[in-house]
Every structure is written in structure tokens, then in C-alpha cells.
Amino acid sequence: MAHLINRNVLLGVSGGIAAYKSAELIRQLQELGAEVRVIMTRGAQQFITPLTLQALSGNPVHTELLDSEAELGMGHIELARWADLLLIAPATADLIARLAIGRADDLLTTVALATAAPRLIAPAMNQQMWHDKACAANVERLESLGMSLVGPAVGEQACGDVGPGRMEQPAVIAASAAALFQSGLLQGKRVLISAGPTQEALDPVRYISNHSSGKMGYALARACADAGARTTLVSGPVNLEAPAKVKRVEVQSALQMLDQCVELSAESDIFIACAAVADYRPAEVQTQKIKKGAEFTSLELVRNPDIVATVSSTNPRPFTVGFAAETNDVVQYARGKMQRKGLDMIVANDVSKQDIGFNSDENAVTVVWPDGEHSLAQSSKLNIARQVVELIAGQIKPES
């Protein structure tokens, strides 16, 4: 069944009598699992109040482009980035015309230009307006720009006319929205992902670890599940909830993660090693807390096993994807790492950049495979994850 679990839907409501249906549409979207925020044009507010849609969505309703408080944080850009889908319902003839020529004269049209998310339009107007050649040309223009349409439906209209132009029913619109995300790129595949840091104990209260938040691995798990894969996440200690439809196995140390990954990879078609595994662990773990004593002390470390190389060397083995966190010559080092460890693909990112990578909500990576590479521009980690999934799907042989 199609769903919108974990999806952010930005609902744009323009000024037509069908605006009252937006209340039911919010409920339908939420029942499919979506988080909904609403933008209303001034015309829409003449038909239904922002307070009504705020109460139903559970989020403040956005109405003005030049809202001084919101714009302190570039509010319209944040909305555009937040959205996984911009859904405009109802879309009046006037709004369709403004979208067709790229106007940005209110909040809704500005966000429509600023977002990289898919845009789904539900037209609503008089049947004669729908049949007008100018409107037809505008609709054709929207489709040429990559926007999708749902409806309009045929039936009796508020003015008494009968014909096409009614806004499609909310349940149909919500189902169309969900269908946009059912890629099926990994349908039926079994995907194993490692994520987060490992913690290597020194004593009962101290450990060695790193700054990994696990956000990239968890985004990949969500993207794989959304693509139809049966997804298992082997996770080090993080402050994140497991994505919907993803099985999580919690571990702490590198050795625990190794054991789980080797065992589970035997039943997996794809293994994505995204975890930031500690390279070393203490040679001996103290059973009691180490007391502060001498001015200087030393710690003996032993090397941890290489999890992705271990999985890659098994026979048979899953399609194996590694990650390379580098600070210079990123692609060169990543390609060398891929060859040494016998990987099918590697995702390289520059962790020297402060605005991406560890603990950030955004990333920028280069995906490398034996006969190619593809750079993904800075975006949310979830958007990066979805693009990585597309590249993985494109490299998997049918028999994999």
C-alpha cells in the first residue's frame, strides 16, 4: 500500500471555493503518515481560516512572503528545503497562470520556484475556464516544467455548471501524492546498513568514540525502505529514532558491530557500511574505574577488524558499498580504498568542511564505482541518501 511515512508535505491552498476541501486533505495526508505544513494565499483565507488548518495540521500556517519574524531565518527558503513534496490544492486558474510564467509575487509562488521537491497540482475552476485555450496552454507549460497534475474531476460545480474543473477528492489527491514516492527501485531487495559511531570501552565509565551522529546512515535506511527494500540497520549509540519499516539492531563496540554485520550480510543483497567504526580499541578493558594519578599515562590500543572489508571478502557476498571520510584528495583516496577492500561502490565526503558531514543535517558527496563517478551537490542527508539509492540500483545486476 502506498504511504507517506516520514514525508514532509507542504500544502499550498489558493483562493477557490474548493479550499474548504483542504481540511479533509490534511487529514488524508496525515493518515498516510505525512507531516503537513500549510501555505495559504490571501484569497484562500477568504474561504477557510488559517486557524482551522493550523489546528488540523498541528503546525503554524504560513501566509506572507515578507513576514519579518519568519524571514529572520529566510523562512521561505527553509520551507522550500523542508518539503519533500509541494502539493497545491486547490490550484486556481490564476495561480496556474502565475506558476506557468515563473512569478514569485507571494509566498506560495516563491516557494514553488525555490523548492527542489516534486510539485503536484490539483486544479479547481469553472469548466469553461478549464476549457479555455490560455488555461490549457498554462497547464501544458506546467507539465513541461516537470509538475504533475491530479484531476480535475468532472461533475456539478458551485456555479451550477457541469463538466471538468472540480478539485479531485482529497483521498485521490493524497493517493497520488503517495504514488510519487513509491519508486520500487529496491523492491524485494534485502538491505543491511551500518550506522553511527562505535564506543570502545576503557573502563566501566569511559570509552573511545567519535563525533558521528548516525544521521547519514539513518537517512539511507529510510531511503532504502521507501524504495521497497527490506531494511535492517545495525546502529551504534545515537540519539535517533529508527525510520518506519526499518529493523534496528543496536550495538556498542566495533566487535559487536562486526559480528552482527557478518551474520546479517549472509542474508542480504546489499550492504552499505556507513558507520564510523573506531579504528582502534583498548588492548585491555579495566574492570574498575581508572583513577587519576600520574601527570602522564599511556594507553595501549589494538586495531579493530575492518568490517566492510570482511563482509566484502565473504563468498557469496552482497553488493557492498563503503564510505570514505577524507580531508583532502577525497576522490583519489576513496577510489584507492574501494580497490583495496574489494568494494562495488564507495561514497566519499570531505569532512574538513564544517557545514557538512558529522552532526550536520546536510552533506555533499561523490559516489565512485569501478568505471564511473557522480558528484552530488550539497543537500539534506535524506535527499543525498535517495540519490545514492538511485545510483546503487543502477549498478546492481539483475541476478544480484
Count Cβ neighbours within 10 Å for each residue of 2-35 and write b for 16 or more, e otherwise.
ebbbbbbbbbbbbbbbbbebbbebbebbbebebb
Which amino acid is residue 189, in one-letter code?
K
147: which 3 cell numbers? 509538475
Residue-wise DSSP of 21-60: GHHHHHHHHHHTT-EEEEEE-TTGGGTS-HHHHHHHHSSP
Peptide bond into 152 cis (omega under 30): yes
Cα–Cα distance for residue pair 367/374, rounded to 1 Å: 5
Question: What pairs with residue 85 in β-bridges?
Answer: 9
For residue 90, cis peptide bond before it (omega within 30 degrees of 0): yes
* Cell reading at 120: 503536484
Residue 196's region, left for phi above 0, alpha for psi from -120 to 50, else beta, is: left
Inter-CA distances, 222 with 6, 135, 216, 246, 255, Å:
8, 39, 10, 7, 25
Q: List the Cα angle 326/331/336 in 5-degree steps.
A: 90
First-to-last C-alpha distance (Å) of the chain: 25
261 is catalytic: no
Beta partners for residue 59, in sequence order: none
Nearest to 231 by CA among 173, 179, 186, 266: 186
- So which residues are the catalytic ones? 159
